[in-house]
Amino acid sequence: MTDARPAATGPTEAPLIDPFARAITYLRVSVTDRCDLRCVYCMAENMTFLPKKDLLSLEELERLCSAFVDLGVRKLRITGGEPLVRRDIMTFFEAMGRRIGDGLDELTLTTNATQLRRFAKPLYDCGVRRVNVSLDTLDEGKFREITRWGRFAQVLDGLDAAQEAGLHVKINAVALKGVNDDEIRSMTRWCHDRGMDITFIEVMPMGDIGGEERLDQYMPLTAVREELAREFTLEDIPLSTGGPARYVRAKETGGRVGFITPLTHNFCESCNRVRLTCTGQLYMCLGQDDDADLRAVLRESADDAPVRQAIREAITRKPKGHDFDYSRREIRGEVGRHMSVTGG
């Protein structure tokens, strides 16, 4: 069965081009800083979350995202925290789903899968076709240690629900030395046996995570690829899903493996992304602290022209790249905000 949706039209205004001639076509939007897990590389165990008044309403999020689509953004990824814990979040997905074919090519999300049994079919019905699921281990005990709260069976059930609904699932696994480095090959086999891709990600220096040592967690993906090559024949492929991952195909399974390497081989030269927080701060780079306050502009006027102008001005400040670096056994380029604030 094929979708009856029309091909997306172009932007209604001149597209967003940054100072390095990169077109900005991909917006990642954090709709909440809250989550129902507490992963050790993402959050402190006892997080202090934002007061409700600081968050954009769902209507404000829709208005801002629509402004970005009008300016040429063609892919929208919804993140958190955990986006599906936000009350009435499906009204936002439904509203943005109506922009598919009207400027927007793709609406998708990153989730921990705990809520997918409830939301997988409604997500598909409003136009979502792909989801990324954060899952770092297949060992229930390790899962409890990494997430601090557990709910492993709920996550696996969510994966089943997603595939039953027709969603294509990609697993995102943060490579953690001494934690899941012995599961690299087994997780890849498990994903490919289920028809899912897997992407490995280097742990990034973002936020105070409550005493966990990132240098001790850090595993370069060169080591992950070497581990995979012990069992699989890896063939580089030119696949691009609009994000920073570089992909290979495992000849033995036919499945795909992605690598996101913000430290060992950054992807800044082709960066087409900006990130919007749940409070309306626009970060032009994941690894820089410069931001633009779109919430203030949004709330000052019902006219969207100032909002679009503020977006354009912010893009003129997009840097060439970030400065993450662990290479000298010290953290460089660290930023103070948690990943859950920026949007995973």
**273 labelled ligand-binding:** yes
**278 labelled ligand-binding:** no
**206 labelled ligand-binding:** no
**191 labelled ligand-binding:** no
**39 labelled ligand-binding:** yes
Which residues 6+ apart lie within 8 Å of 300 measured at CB? 306
**285 labelled ligand-binding:** yes
Q: Where are the beta strands (DSSP E) in the chain?
A: 26-30, 75-79, 106-111, 130-134, 168-175, 197-202, 234-236, 246-250, 256-260, 273-276, 281-283, 291-293
**275 labelled ligand-binding:** yes
Long-range contacts of 15-23 (CB under 8 A, 24+ apart): 15/71, 15/72, 16/71, 16/72, 16/73, 16/311, 16/312, 16/315, 17/315, 18/284, 18/315, 18/316, 18/318, 19/316, 19/318, 20/318, 20/320, 22/270, 22/271, 22/272, 22/318, 23/72, 23/272
DSSP-derived secondary structure for 42-104: T--SS--PPPGGGSPPHHHHHHHHHHHHHTT--EEEEESS-GGGSTTHHHHHHHHHTTBTTTB
CA distance 320 to 19: 8
**47 labelled ligand-binding:** no
**204 labelled ligand-binding:** yes
Binding-site entries: 28, 35, 39, 41-42, 77, 81, 110, 134, 170, 204, 268, 271, 273-275, 285
Binding-site entries for S-adenosyl-L-methionine: 41, 81, 134, 204
Binding-site entries for GTP: 28, 77, 110, 170, 273-275
Binding-site entries for [4Fe-4S] cluster: 35, 39, 42, 268, 271, 285
